[in-house]
């Protein structure tokens, strides 16, 4: 599916899901090539998320590469569920893009992730108020 903007040019925005800006901790699990394929988990920070993927920032020292496969999990706090009607998103992701992001505290990596197929993504919970 090719996305076209109003002027008839190809649009760089190929998102299929609306994004919600939420800054939440995201547990990212990588399989490291060095060390015999050991698994390494760390926490990154989401910038925005959707059922189709994430954009997150990672602290210095963590290196991501385009097309790398990761596993991610993020819990949505109760206060934010009116904006995003799930309690948890978890599943395998593919790194789509890696950016260098400059903040007040230095330079970090911005990482765009897309879930690998909707069959592998687990979406738990709803936005309903508990009784």
The model's pLDDT over 1-32, given as tens digits with 9 standing for 90+, comes to 333 333 444 445 555 667 778 889 999 998 87
Reported residue count of the chain is 131
Torsion of CA 101, 102, 108, 112, to 10 degrees: -10
Mean pLDDT for the stretch of residues 91-97: 92
How many other C-beta atoms can be found within 10 angstroms of the C-beta atom of residue 26?
25
Predicted local confidence at residue 71, as pLDDT: 92
**pTM for this model (two decimals):** 0.73
pLDDT, tens only, 35-50: 667 788 889 999 988 8
Q: How far is CA 35 from CA 30, 31, 40, 41, 58, in A?
A: 12, 10, 10, 14, 21
Q: What distance in Å separates the CA atoms of residue 55 and residue 50, rounded to the nearest whole number? A: 9
Q: What is the 8-class DSSP label of residue 116?
A: S
**Hey, what domains does the chain have and what are their CATH numbers?**
20-124 (2.40.10.220)
Mean pLDDT for the stretch of residues 107-122: 79
pLDDT, tens only, 50-93: 878 889 998 766 788 999 999 999 888 887 777 666 788 888 99
Mean pLDDT for the stretch of residues 98-111: 85
């Amino acid at each position: 599916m090719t996305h076209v903007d109003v002027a008839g040019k190809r649009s760089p925005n190929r998102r299929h899901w609306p994004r919600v800006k939420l800054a939440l901790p995201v547990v990212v699990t990588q399989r490291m090539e060095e060390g015999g394929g050991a698994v390494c988990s760390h926490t990154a920070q989401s910038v925005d998320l959707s059922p189709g993927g994430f954009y997150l920032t990672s602290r210095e020292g963590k290196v991501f590469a385009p097309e790398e496969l990761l596993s991610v999990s993020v819990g949505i706090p109760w206060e934010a569920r009116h904006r995003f009607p799930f309690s948890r998103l978890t599943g395998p992701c593919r790194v789509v893009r890696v950016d260098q992001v400059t903040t007040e505290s230095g330079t970090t990596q911005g990482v765009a992730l897309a879930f690998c197929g909707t069959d592998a993504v687990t979406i738990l919970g709803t936005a309903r108020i508990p009784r």
